[in-house]
Amino acid sequence: MNDKLQYLNPEILSKVSSMELRAKFVVEGFLTGIHKSPYHGFSVEFTEHRPYMPGDDLRKLDWKILAKTNRYYIKQFEQETNLSAHIFIDTSASMGFSSEQKNISKLKYSSYLAASLSYLMIKQKDAVGLGLYDSTLYNYLSPRTSPSHLHRLLVALENMKPSSNTSISDAIGPFIEKIKRKGLIILISDLFDSIENILRLIKQFRYNGHEVIIFHIMDEQEVQFNYSNNLQFVDVESNESINTIPAQIKKQYKIAVEEFILKIKNSCHQHKIDYTLLTTSTKYDIALLQYLNKRQQLF
């Protein structure tokens, strides 16, 4: 395996020492493979300039490039960024779940995903902000493009811990109304909330004119339910418990999960929102490609 490509694997990435290196390695691994199947046709250019267009302010011309190449390029500044994005991460107690000790939790997986997306966006001169929520939006960094801002984002992601109950529409809904500039909203959550709350927020995203990607994060066992021994399940948010014989309820459980996912997918499709289900073993190139797909649709 290519040394860079291996870091798209969450289990390998979790062994890297810092969030900054994790983000860097994921993006480098992603860019290494982006021109290989199945990614033909994509290009990612990191540039601080764009070609001169009639009407541009001549004071923004890069005279050094003109002298070297005889071509006219305009310097781009932070306020001219291509895209303004907000990443919202669910940090409720259920996000701390991991079915096996060796697996990373849903929250850790989400932190690595958000770090990688932020790193990629800022390298593209896109502005990215971060909101952490449970039942309220308790930490928010507004979108910026600077390296120092990226550092603040990564520190916040490194320090995330699962907190309390979740109420997705109460936490994010009122804040969405205050976002003046239309842009991209990325929601990262296990969506363990009432279906009514989730569908209400989905409608609100589109009503306010934002483009949206939802990354639905689940543990592999939450999807497959491949438990063999009798178990007691405890709801980490309500502390309610239930004793089960997994073999007897597996079929009904999987039907219920599939119906829940289908309701969300159908609502997202109806409101032209991108939905992607990721387990904590899914390689990160899937999510980064989803972001690039959306970005290319916008420009």
- Name the residue ranges covered by the structural domains of the chain: 5-34+84-298, 49-76
| pLDDT of the residue at 169 | 85
Alpha-helical runs (H) found in 177-284: 195-207, 220-224, 246-270
Residue 37, pLDDT score:
42
Q: How far apart are CA 90 and CA 137, in angstroms?
A: 9
pLDDT score at 153: 97
What are 59's two structure tokens?
């004071």
Query: What integer pLDDT is reported at residue 224 of this predicted model?
Result: 87
CA distance 283 to 127: 24
3-class DSSP assignment, residue 247: helix
The Cα 156–Cα 244 span in angstroms is 38
List C-alpha distances in Å: 183 to 42, 200, 229, 289: 21, 19, 47, 18
Q: What is the pLDDT of residue 101?
A: 66
The CA distance from 234 to 111, in Å, is 24
Q: What is the pLDDT of residue 48?
A: 57
Task: Give the model's pLDDT for residue 43.
Answer: 47
Q: For residue 31, what pLDDT is reported?
A: 85
pTM exceeding the 0.75 threshold for the entire prediction? yes
Bridge-partner residues for 243, per DSSP?
232
pLDDT at 139: 94
CATH class of the 5-34+84-298 domain in this structure: alpha beta
Ranges of the chain with pLDDT below 50: 1, 37-43, 45-47, 78-81
